[in-house]
Each structure stands twice: as C-alpha cells, then as structure tokens.
Amino acid sequence: MDLTPVLISLKTASASIAATFFLGLLLAEFVASTRRRELKMILDGILTLPLVLPPTVAGFFLLWIFGVRGPVGKFFVDLFGVKIAFSWAATVLASAAISFPMMYRSARGALEQVDPNLLYAARTLGMGEWTIFWKVSLPTALPGIASGAVLAFARGLGEFGATAMIAGNIAGKTRTLPLAIYSAVAAGDMNTAGVYVAIIVLLSFAVVALMNYFTIHERRK
C-alpha cells in the first residue's frame, strides 16, 4: 500500500500549523485589543469567513488569487518561475486557509479570558503592551491557545475541498489522505480506502485526546 498520502498529509498539516499558529496568535491579540467595536466586528468577520464558507468556495478564491493567471500566482511565475497552483505548496496554502479561523478564534477566546487585573497590574509596573502580551497574556492563555493549535492541525489534516480545487489530486505530490480515500473509493478499491480511513481516524483520535488534555489543564488552572 502506498503510504505517500499519509506523509504528504502530515507534512502539509505541520507546515500549515507553523504558519497559522503565529499569524492567528498575532491577529487574535490585535483584534482582542482593538477598542473600536465596529472595526473589531469587521475584522472578526473577515478572519472567520473561511470557517463558514464551503471549502470549494475558499478553494476557488485561492485558485483565483494564486493560479497562474491570478495576481499573486502570476507574480511568482513571472519573477521566480515558480507555479504555486497544483504543487505541494498549494496543499499547505489550502490547509492553512481553512484551518486558520480555528486557530484565530481559539487564541482570541483564550486571550480575552485573561484576568484584566493582571494586565492593569503589569501596566502600573511600567510594562509595554507587547511585553505584557509575551510575559502575561500569552503564558496565562497558553492552554487555550495550544488547544486551538491542535484543533487547527486536525482541520488541516482532514482538508479536502479547497485542496482539490487549488492543488489537485496528483499522486505522490498533492494527494493527501482525504484525496487518497476519495480516489480509492472512486476506483472501487475499498480495502485500500478502509486502511486510509483507519489511519486518519487514529490520527484524529490522537488529536482529540491531546486537545482534551489541554482543555482539562486549562480548567484546573
């Protein structure tokens, strides 16, 4: 049996969470600290939008932007000779785009639950806002943030629709586990599909167990 889809999925999910973790964390802090209510609602709506859009619609927008005729895709082709669409980088892009809202919302929720008295106390000691974020807010909210990162990793691991749109289903290159399951079923190879399903179920169960660990740790804290 070909284990390449397993390796591609794990590599893709790992690369996407590396990007979404820091980006989601910084944007969550920015939105949470924004005082203008209207601006906060607009930013939150934009950053959460991929969570409610059908994955194929999100994939369409990614393809429109990063395709060879899209503004970003054409730029990379003309300047570097690199085609983003239908490459492994496209699987990472799709995974990151779909999993980002989960990381962002989990991080924002955890940061907003930090005791305001701790922040006020830090300000009275003369700490700057970024120092407060790194030394007070982040350590206090870390269990919730870690739980969101695990959830975002699992979502990236199971991404299908957007990946199929922008990365395709190229064996050995962009065929992730969900695409491998679809391909095996379409070919009538139910045994191979069953093995792939078992693998992704085990991985998902491990992710849920890890997420529950962080949740319990947060409640105890």
For 103-136, what is each residue's pLDDT tens digit? 999 999 999 988 888 888 988 888 888 888 888 9
100 close to 24: Cβ distance less than 8 angstroms: yes
What sign has the CA pseudo-torsion 203, 49, 144, 29? positive
CA distance 190 to 204: 20
Q: What's the whole-number mean pLDDT along residues 153-158? A: 92
Question: What is the structure's pLDDT at 221?
Answer: 57
Question: What is the structure's pLDDT at 11?
Answer: 95
**Coil, helix or strand for 152?**
helix
CA distance 53 to 161: 11
Share of the chain above pLDDT 90, in %: 64
48: tokens are 């959460």
**Residue 80: DSSP 8-state:** H
Q: What's the whole-number mean pLDDT along residues 62-84? A: 92
For 21-46, the pLDDT digits (tens) are 999 999 999 998 888 888 999 999 99
Question: What is the structure's pLDDT at 128?
Answer: 85
- Identify the burial level of 157 via C-beta atoms within 10 angstroms of its C-beta, where 0-12 means exposed, 13-18 middle and 19 or more buried: buried
Question: What is the structure's pLDDT at 36?
Answer: 87
Question: What is the structure's pLDDT at 85?
Answer: 92
**Coil, helix or strand for 159?**
coil
Question: What is the structure's pLDDT at 211?
Answer: 77
Share of the chain above pLDDT 70, in %: 97
**Could you give the C-alpha distances from 53 to 74, 97, 101, 106, 163, in angstroms and in order?**
25, 11, 11, 18, 14
Whole-prediction pTM: 0.89
pLDDT score of 161 more than 90: yes
Question: What is the structure's pLDDT at 116?
Answer: 87
Q: What is the mean pLDDT of the chain?
A: 90
pLDDT score of 214 more than 80: no
At the fourth CATH level, which superfamily is domain 4-220?
Answer: MetI-like (1.10.3720.10)
pLDDT score of 165 more than 90: yes
For 1-22, the pLDDT digits (tens) are 788 999 999 999 999 999 999 9
